[in-house]
């Protein structure tokens, strides 16, 4: 085998699997900004029909074997509480009023209702109103008062 052929044969390792394309693209963008070359596998299939995502095992994010540790370190970084922009004031991340987690979404897809309408052969994307915490499951509106602290928190 020629030397140029051997350079193309390298160990690529799957470091993350995503169900949704936006999450995969955000992770890949984080690696790209750190100069770590990465590739998405099966992203075009999911892009064409998102229902196939679970059937094919999701979208895989792969990196070169020598970049695995650095890539995992970047992807496992916690969400910052504040973001300081050069030209503007600091931006404070929204958080769950109950558990203070930053793992929250606004107007998330109401999956039970959306998937239930698929049986009618007419899927409807039904969204929840307000915020939802993925850590504790708490839902709230923007103007909601902070939840009372429990003995466990």
Paired tokens of 81: 């509480």
Quote the pLDDT of residue 95.
85
Quote the pLDDT of residue 3.
43
**Calpha distance 8→131 (Å, rounded):** 46
Domain spans of the chain, in order of start: 3-75, 82-140
Quote the pLDDT of residue 59.
94
Residues of the chain whose pLDDT is less than 50? 1-9, 144, 146-149, 151-153
Residue 5 backbone zone (phi > 0: left; psi -120 to 50: alpha; other: beta): alpha
Question: What is the distance, to the nearest Å, from the Cα of residue 1 to the centroid of all Cα atoms in its chain?
Answer: 40
């Amino acid at each position: 085998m020629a030397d140029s052929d051997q350079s193309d044969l390298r160990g690529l390792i799957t470091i993350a699997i995503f169900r949704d394309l936006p999450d995969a693209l955000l992770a890949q963008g984080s690696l790209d900004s750190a100069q770590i070359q990465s590739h998405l596998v099966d992203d075009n299939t999911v892009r064409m029909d998102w229902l196939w995502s679970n059937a094919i095992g999701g979208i895989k994010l792969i990196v070169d074997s020598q970049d695995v540790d650095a890539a995992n370190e970047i992807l496992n970084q916690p969400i910052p509480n504040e973001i300081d922009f050069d030209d503007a004031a600091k931006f404070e991340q929204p958080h769950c009023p109950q558990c203070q987690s930053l793992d929250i979404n606004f107007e998330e897809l109401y999956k039970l209702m959306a998937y239930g309408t698929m049986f009618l052969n007419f899927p409807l994307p039904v969204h929840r109103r307000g915020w939802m915490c993925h850590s504790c499951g708490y839902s709230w509106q923007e103007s909601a008062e902070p939840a009372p602290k429990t003995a466990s928190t």
